[in-house]
A and B are shown apart, each in its own frame.
Chain A
Amino acid sequence: MTSDGIFVDRVTLSYDGGQVTPVENISLAIPKGTVLAMIGPSGSGKSTLLRGIAGIEKPAKGDIFLNGEKISPKRQKIGFVPQNYGLLPWKSVEENILIGVRIKDSLNGDVLSKMNEFMENLGILEFRHRFPKEISGGQQQRVSLARAFLLNADALLMDEPFSALDAITREETQDVFLSLWKKQKITTLFVTHDVEEALYLGQRIVVLSNEGKILRELDNPFFGNREDKLQEEFFKMRSKIRELIQKAGSDK
């Protein structure tokens, strides 16, 4: 059974020849054009699952499908944004953005003008010839997002993408992500440990348990809305998720 979007079918991921199994028998569906936030205590295997979907780790069992096809980094366009933004230190900002389209052989004039538009909108145009080391973390994250969105990926996977940023830059960059996402509606899965981030950027939220299993899947009415942060329902939802995570973390 497959459908459009990302479909994780009873997947197990393990290391060291099966001795460590951070993810066991997980099934998960992310409908096309939606964002799913994955949250859980540390050691719940959320990053491992993300890397599995990104094609970086091979599942020991089960299959992962993207838009009805078995997922394949070679055939499909998968954007992966790691926690440290995944920029190559020896490439300029511009070259870093272009890596995706270069590898996918889809570099042309349209892409270049689109890249300039992106850089302009993201406020990184003036840094185009600089190296990642020479710009701030928030700017690096914008470069990383520009790479993923310029590629117009079939799936976007982000591993705690905003966690290394300071509070103000984090909110700004979250807004940048949201505005890019609203234009392209790339099927997105991101891992976070920040409940408020999950509530702001995830249309649905999945809470993972300590054993690498899905504890709860929730619809999120607060997606893309910062104003609701002061409402009582928001507080309730936030505490509910926090409790779930705490419970998951203590179930050893």
Chain B
Amino acid sequence: MKRKAIASYFFAAAGIFVIWQIVALLTHIPMIPSPILVLETLIDIFLSDIAIHAGYSFLRIIAGLLLAVVIGYPLGIMMGYFKKCDRFLSPFVYLTYPIPKISLLPIIMLILGVGESAKILMIFLIIVFQVVIAVRDGIREIPKETFFPLISLGASFKHFFFYVLWPATLPKFLTAIRVAMATAISVLFFTETFGTTYGMGYFIMDAWLRVNYLEMYAGIVALSYIGLIIFCFIDFLETLSCRWQKRR
């Protein structure tokens, strides 16, 4: 089963590669270079350039993600578990959730400047809402009967958390992060075109301005890999921790 899945992904990757190559051959313009040349460039400049830029982008994503989890997860638990908390906080969440976070970027940059904190805050803003809502709804969906045997055993909040709240919300929590991650990476790209000389966004746009299409494509491929690695990692966590959901 697992081997089959890996094989099919490999097949899809090869397929994309082949289509790209065909398009490059047919159009024969410098804006669409052959994937072979792009991969060669990627390997050539990986250690000297891309690794550093990718490292910056990766660290910004991780920092924003961690911040979003550290603040969003407890908030979601509180809103899901304590009705009063939900009644008080829900309106705030509902009113602020639909704001396209990217539109806040000018304000954030005015206040925090164009440095690291603005970029991390943007990623945080995109992920945190997803986390809060997923965790809260995850708790709301737990049938209240699930708690009964634990209540009569005299369980404390610690027990409820580790026996029920954490495992019950984990699948939704991970899915939320995965969904938010795609948006977070796009927004990161955008923020990295301001006020920094490091990061994949800067690298790609810089290559574009220098009309170095091979490096530009190499950057796009590298950024895609960052996304893929994070996706795979979340997938891996999901299969590891949510085995109980799978049917035999």
- Interface on A for B, CB 8 Å cutoff? 51, 54-56, 72-82, 84, 86, 88-91, 99-100, 103-104, 131, 133-134, 147, 151, 157
- Interface on B for A, CB 8 Å cutoff? 145-146, 148-155, 159, 163-164, 167-168, 242-244, 247-248
Closest 7 CB pairs of A and B: A73-B154, A90-B167, A80-B152, A74-B154, A86-B149, A54-B152, A90-B244
From the candidates A72, A103, A147, name the one contacting B155 in the complex (CB within 8 A).
Answer: A103
Q: 20 A-B residue contacts at CB 8 Å?
A: A55-B151, A56-B148, A56-B151, A73-B151, A76-B154, A79-B152, A80-B148, A82-B148, A82-B149, A86-B146, A88-B164, A89-B244, A90-B167, A91-B163, A99-B153, A104-B154, A134-B247, A134-B248, A151-B153, A157-B152
Instruction: Report Cα–Cα, A75/B154, bound state, in Å.
Output: 8
A86 touches B163 (CB 8 A): no
Interface centre among B163, B164, B168, B243 (most CB of A within 10 A): B163
Instruction: Report Cα–Cα, A88/B162, bound state, in Å.
Output: 12
A78 touches B163 (CB 8 A): no
A88 touches B152 (CB 8 A): no
Which residues of chain A come closer than 8 Å to B150, judged between CB atoms?
99, 103
Instruction: Report Cα–Cα, A78/B242, bound state, in Å.
Output: 30
Interface centre among B145, B148, B149, B244 (most CB of A within 10 A): B149
A80 touches B167 (CB 8 A): no
Q: Which residue of B lies closest to A89 (CB)?
A: B244
A133 touches B244 (CB 8 A): yes
- Chain A interface mostly: loop
Which residues of chain A come closer than 8 Å to B152, judged between CB atoms?
54-56, 73, 78-80, 157
Instruction: Report Cα–Cα, A97/B243, bound state, in Å.
Output: 19
B244 touches A131 (CB 8 A): yes
Instruction: Report Cα–Cα, A239/B208, bound state, in Å.
Output: 89
Instruction: Report Cα–Cα, A91/B149, bound state, in Å.
Output: 14
Instruction: Report Cα–Cα, A131/B248, bound state, in Å.
Output: 10
Instruction: Report Cα–Cα, A74/B150, bound state, in Å.
Output: 10
Instruction: Report Cα–Cα, A51/B167, bound state, in Å.
Output: 25
Beyond A99-B150, A103-B159, whether A90 also contacts B168 by CB under 8 A is: yes
A130 to chain B, nearest CB (A): 8
Instruction: Report Cα–Cα, A134/B243, bound state, in Å.
Output: 11
A237 to chain B, nearest CB (A): 32
Instruction: Report Cα–Cα, A34/B192, bound state, in Å.
Output: 73
A96 to chain B, nearest CB (A): 10
Q: Which residue of B lies closest to A75 (CB)?
A: B154
Interface centre among A56, A76, A84 (most CB of B within 10 A): A56
